[in-house]
Structure 1
Amino acid sequence: MRPAFAAAAAASVLVLSAAACAPQDDTSTSSASGSASGSASASCSTSSLATKTSGKLTIGTDNPAYDPWFSDDNPSNGKGFESAVAYAVAKQLGFDKSEVVWQKVAFNNAFAAGSKSFDFDINQVSINADRKKAVDFSSGYYDVRQAVIALKGSKAAKAASIADLKKVKLGAQVGTTSLDYINDVIKPTQDVAVYQKNDLATAALKNGQVDAIVYDLPTAFYITSAELTDAKIVGQFENTGDGQEQFGLVLDKGSKLTSCVSKAVDALRADGTLASIEKTWLSDAVDAPVLK
């Protein structure tokens, strides 16, 4: 675990001890799925689950797999918020760690139209109406806020409101809610710099190509504490719209697993497991002021 999360990592009681399969390459195609939405399995017993491989649960995520969501770029080690969540869901469904298979799936491919080679994907994918047209989502497993990062001492670092950010050069990863917040909430006067990967956006900030970048809050805490220590979190945004932005597990459109996976997530939220995992692996957000 990286420095910002080392103390929390030591306290984790959710990491399973058995070895798991290493991530495999995603060999699925992106052809359109034409199937209608299917009904959920009548039973959520492990033996009745229609997984891609009998007796196995195949989970997709991006490569590289970033902290604090994963640790050491190794989803199968059970460390990091999303790795711990994935194994908690697997356990709830009746799979032990040795029965989990990880597969490499690029972020945008996870929610593109077409059949999937995974049972579910976990990769900080926000649930929204457009994505629901192509894939199913589980219940939300993490309530998200977005945050702004800028180099210390810069004009952008002194921003105290959304209005203060309108004239600065902003950047974010393509296809993310971070980019949506720039366009829909900040509405900057300059063109937004869009990057394929988070690390490219971070490099652009470091090199002075942008004045500030927008990430989800846990990633912002990690970057400012471990990767770009001369940067600071300017602030975070209140969630907007009709509901709380949430990350959800991604499944095939019409997957027979969707109902059972959602029930597993709901059970983990109800019994406090999700809150415990979040406390263990993600830094508290109280030090980031809300930008209005």
Structure 2
Amino acid sequence: MKKSLIVILVLLAVATFSTGVMAQRYVVGTNASFPPFEYVEDGEIVGFDIDLVKEIAKLQGFEVEVRDISFDSLIPGLASGSLDMVAAGMTITADREKVIDFSDPYYSANQSVLVHEESDANLTVLFGNHDVGVQTGTTGDTWVRDNLLEDEILTGELRNYDSYVFVIRDLANGNIDAAVLDKPVAETYSQNNPVNVVAEIITGEEYGIAVGEGNEELLAEINAGLEKVKNNGTMEKLIQKYFE
């Protein structure tokens, strides 16, 4: 009787393993201050990118664990192996592609300039002695440095922040004159804060999901899932949910 019980338990264990309970789990890094792509709601990390990566995981048969960390720690996290992928509205750039690999693009965006709602400033707020806020490590940060600071078009202070929440807070409190950030995120912040979008900078950026350099297997899984999401109508539903 005992021998039969042991055999049954072994068979159950084998069956449980074969059903996929032990599915591969990947750690996804994000920076949850980038609405509507990623933000915290009722204590949970949600948003366009989060829904997208979860849908890819479901279609490809793996699981994901989402971690919220500072934006400038995301690429080092991939390099160290503490993160398997990054879904954080991250723009595909040549510099980033030197150290990490990107999926096929899934969203296109430009940069926007925000000022306080009581300000009369326009795009010229980026010229001369004005203080401008950006999130550290973002393409907005790089654009201001490369196009304004190096040529001394902007002679005021470029202030770096760990999170866009702090950028918008300082702008709303009048501590900086302007902020530069991705257009869809700028529009989201302008709906609930005393700030206005006054200009769009055409940068033609494309977002991709990032993985560690050389991780071709995971990249293939992500790209296959992206293709399915685009073809089965889920991508259009996510766009309608978060941007329309």
Shorter-chain TM-score range:
0.7 to 0.9
| Pair 1:175 & 2:142 matched | no
Provide the TM-score with structure 1 as the length reference: 0.66
| Pair 1:60 & 2:28 matched | yes
- Match of 1:193, SS? strand
Root-mean-square deviation (CA), in Å?
Answer: 2.5
Q: Cα distance, 1:164 vs. partner?
A: 5.4
Deviations 1:206-226 (A, max 9, x none): 222211101112221221112
Identity of matched residues, %: 25
Distance 1:148 1:203, change over 3 A: same
Partner of 1:204: 170
Give the structure with the higher percent strand.
2
Q: Cα distance, 1:153 vs. partner?
A: 2.8
Structure 2 residue identity aligned to 1:213? A
Q: Provide the C-alpha distance between the structure 1 equivalents of 2:232 and 2:80, rounded to a whole number of angstroms.
A: 33
| Pair 1:146 & 2:111 matched | yes
Q: Cα distance, 1:64 vs. partner?
A: 4.3
Deviations 1:183-215 (A, max 9, x none): 334542323111122122112212222111011
Give the structure with the higher percent helix.
2
Partner of 1:90: 57
Gaps of 5+ in 2: 1-17
Q: Provide the C-alpha distance between the structure 1 equivalents of 2:132 and 2:138, rounded to a whole number of angstroms.
A: 14
Provide the TM-score with structure 2 as the length reference: 0.77
Gaps of 5+ in 1: 1-46, 48-52, 284-292
1:56–1:101 Cα contact (<8 Å) kept: no
Distance 1:104 1:171, change over 3 A: closer
Partner of 2:97: 132
Partner of 1:217: 183
Q: Provide the C-alpha distance between the structure 2 equivalents of 1:106 and 1:231, rounded to a whole number of angstroms.
A: 23
Partner of 1:237: 201
- Match of 2:90, SS? coil
2:29–2:85 Cα contact (<8 Å) kept: no
